[in-house]
């Protein structure tokens, strides 16, 4: 059983027993006497050009605040020393409000630009595509001042979403923008966190039928169709396919290393079905045409694969209007595997699901040859 740990509110700790505020770094609660487990404070880095706050433990007032550097990046003004980080933040906020009204009166578009300049440097290409797409939904709020946007405004935007996943992504984006604004003392509350996601009826996922797959094989000389077939017979997610590189595709040995998203799915070994030799030909063609700088077999974004490669393949095979998506290929792979009699724990390892049962996750240890034998059960 995990021991409770004190958590923080501003510059105070909260006692793990009586839940009252106690001084920072307290070893014991001064109200109930309960021993505390010290939790170091985690402070987010301030955005560029918003000033600096740092701690000098040699001083009586440890927290020092400085203005942003000038345009040459050399000079900055010393604002003062403060007893707590909160006091330093408030002083810097007052300074910036007076000296930098452009930041404190910034609209949502400006906040998004400042946030994305930093955030997009540390996330995947597929995440950037997702948030860029979701950002377009916020167009009615682009010119509103950040400090004037409340929960109701975000709720109205998110209610326009057409699926649970889209609404969830929109809320995530709004939450990060609010967090960014809070870190820079523009707002004092994350209003996006109060948004409630609209409810949607769960739709049954569409899969490729046997006739659909035969239609794909009839057009398998088309490179777009070949990509869809590779996805159907490997079970890779759309982001995993676009991330595949030459070094991770071992055609002679009959397997691919790939995967992302969950710990169970990262860098997993996926055997190439030996009874479908055409797949090796398709993959070899991709290797021969791989992007030179990165070695990527599919050198385009997930969005491009969805809206161009996949869409053209579906249209060519006469499967438009069926509700099929790139993720349908993954569901189809799972359905084919179950129909072929593949054991559940082997399917979980190949497909990279995160929700392993305790038995499959701890007690079942399948080697590559066993997984390869399971792949032999899949046929055209």
Residue 360: inside a domain: yes
**Ordered DSSP codes for 90-123:** HHHHHHHHHH-HHHHT-BHHHHHHHHHHHHTTSS
Do 255 and 231 belong together in one domain? yes
Residue 251: inside a domain: yes
Mean pLDDT of the region 55-84: 81
The residue segments making up the domain with residue 86 are 52-97
User: How many Å from the N-terminal Cα to the C-terminal Cα in the chain?
Assistant: 50
pLDDT tens, 358-368?
223 332 334 56
Residue 352: inside a domain: yes
Do 349 and 228 belong together in one domain? yes
Asked if 232 and 208 count as a contact pair (C-beta separation under 8 A), the reply is yes
194, two tokens? 């109060």
Burial (CB count <10 Å: 0-12, 13-18, 19+), residue 112: buried
> How much is the mean pLDDT over the chain?
82
Where does the pLDDT of residue 317 fall: very low under 50, low under 70, confident under 90, or very high at 90 and above? very high
Do 167 and 249 belong together in one domain? no
Residue 203: inside a domain: no
DSSP state for residue 185 in the 8-state scheme: T
Place of tokens 């209007």: 321
pLDDT tens, 209-239?
899 999 999 999 999 999 999 999 998 988 8
- What pLDDT shows up at residue 8? 52
- Tell which of 194, 225, 254 closes a domain: 194
Residue 201: inside a domain: no
Do 93 and 115 belong together in one domain? no
Do 117 and 4 belong together in one domain? no
Query: How far apart are the C-alpha atoms of 275 and 380, rounded to whole Å?
Result: 8
Residue 280: inside a domain: yes
Do 28 and 76 belong together in one domain? no
Query: How far apart are the C-alpha atoms of 1 and 89, rounded to whole Å?
Result: 38
Do 22 and 74 belong together in one domain? no
Residue 7: inside a domain: yes
Where does the pLDDT of residue 356 fall: very low under 50, low under 70, confident under 90, or very high at 90 and above? very low
Do 359 and 223 belong together in one domain? yes
Q: Is the pLDDT of residue 86 over 80?
A: yes
Do 304 and 329 belong together in one domain? yes
Burial (CB count <10 Å: 0-12, 13-18, 19+), residue 164: middle
- Tell which of 194, 218, 238 closes a domain: 194
Give me the CATH number covering residue 150.
Answer: 1.10.150.130
Q: In the sheet that 255-258 helps form, which strands lie side by side, from edge to edge?
A: 249-250, 255-258, 268-271
Do 87 and 113 belong together in one domain? no
Q: What is the pTM of this model?
A: 0.54
* Alpha carbon 10 to its chain's center: 28
Do 223 and 331 belong together in one domain? yes
Residue 80: CB atoms within 10 A of its CB come to: 14
Residue 3: inside a domain: yes
Asked if 207 and 331 count as a contact pair (C-beta separation under 8 A), the reply is yes
Give me the CATH number covering residue 238.
Answer: 1.10.443.10
Poorest-pLDDT segment among 87-91, 228-232, 304-308:
87-91
- Tell which of 138, 166, 194 closes a domain: 194
Q: Total structural domains in the chain?
A: 4
Do 173 and 283 belong together in one domain? no
């Amino acid at each position: 059983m995990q021991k409770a740990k004190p958590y923080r509110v501003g510059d105070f700790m909260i006692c793990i027993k009586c839940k009252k505020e106690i001084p920072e770094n307290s070893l014991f609660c001064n109200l109930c006497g309960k021993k505390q487990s010290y939790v170091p404070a985690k402070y987010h880095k301030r955005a560029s050009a918003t000033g600096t706050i740092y701690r000098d433990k040699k001083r009586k007032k440890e927290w020092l605040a400085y203005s942003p550097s000038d345009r040459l990046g050399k000079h900055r003004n010393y604002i003062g020393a403060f007893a707590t980080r909160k006091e330093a933040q408030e002083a810097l906020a007052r300074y910036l409000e007076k000296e930098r009204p452009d930041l404190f009166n910034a609209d949502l578009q400006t906040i998004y630009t400042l946030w994305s300049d930093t955030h997009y440097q540390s996330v995947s290409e597929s995440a950037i595509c997702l948030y860029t797409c979701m950002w377009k939904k916020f167009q009615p709020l682009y010119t509103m001042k950040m400090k004037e946007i409340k929960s109701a405004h975000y709720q109205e935007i998110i209610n326009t979403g057409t699926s649970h996943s889209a609404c969830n992504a929109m809320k995530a984006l709004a939450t990060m923008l609010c967090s960014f604004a809070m870190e820079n003392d523009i707002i004092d509350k994350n209003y996006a966190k109060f948004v409630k996601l609209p409810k949607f009826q769960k739709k049954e996922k569409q899969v490729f039928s046997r006739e659909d797959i035969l239609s794909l094989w009839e057009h398998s000389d088309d490179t777009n169709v070949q990509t869809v077939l590779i996805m159907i017979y490997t079970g890779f997610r759309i982001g995993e396919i676009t991330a595949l590189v030459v070094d991770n595709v071992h055609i002679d040995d009959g397997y691919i290393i790939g995967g992302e998203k969950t710990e169970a799915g990262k860098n997993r070994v996926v055997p190439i079905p030996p009874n479908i030799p055409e797949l090796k030909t398709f993959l070899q063609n991709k290797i021969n045409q791989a992007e030179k700088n990165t070695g990527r077999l599919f050198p385009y974004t997930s969005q491009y694969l969805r809206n161009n490669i996949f869409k053209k393949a579906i249209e060519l095979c006469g499967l438009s209007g069926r509700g099929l998506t790139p993720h349908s290929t993954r569901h189809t792979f799972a359905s084919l595997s179950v129909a072929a009699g593949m054991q559940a724990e082997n399917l979980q390892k190949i497909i990279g699901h995160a929700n392993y049962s305790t038995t499959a996750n701890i007690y079942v240890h399948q080697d590559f040859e066993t997984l390869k034998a399971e792949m032999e059960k899949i046929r055209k």
